[in-house]
Amino acid sequence: MQQGREWSVWRWLFEKGRVREAADRATEALAAANQKVKDSWTDDLKRAYTNGKAKAQGVREADQEAMRATDEAETMFAEAERSMSGNMAREAAQRALDSYDLREKAIRKAEAARRAR
């Protein structure tokens, strides 16, 4: 994905399958790590997260922000492909990288919530 920030539209068209597979694996791995942390939460913390209570609100907001970033990156990639825009594909690559950072941030918040119990 880092390299993709510099590719032309043609390079994106040729590499998109490989990039998409790697991006999907990264997203799945981060989602699994997030779920593993949440599975270790107490029932009270799980309820607080589900109900949006202040105790887990920061985690919930971080999760939502990460999901929005992932959705935005996917939408941008689709639009870049439709319009054959190298600029948009490069922007989408950066947005995907940002979404991974946000997912990692959400995991750290979930871990902190577990430790604070």
Instruction: Note the pLDDT tens digit of each residue in 22-48.
Output: 889 999 999 999 999 999 999 999 999
Buried-exposed string 34-68: b where 16+ CB fall within 10 A, e elsewhere: beebbeebeeebeebbeeeeebbeebbebbeebee
Supply the range of the domain harboring residue 107.
3-116
Determine the 3-state secondary structure of 53 from DSSP: coil
Residue with token string 């979930």:
110
The pTM (predicted TM-score) of the whole model is 0.86
Number of domains in the chain: 1
Query: In which residue ranges of the chain is pLDDT below 70?
Result: 1-2, 5, 54-55, 117
Structure tokens at 13: 């068209």
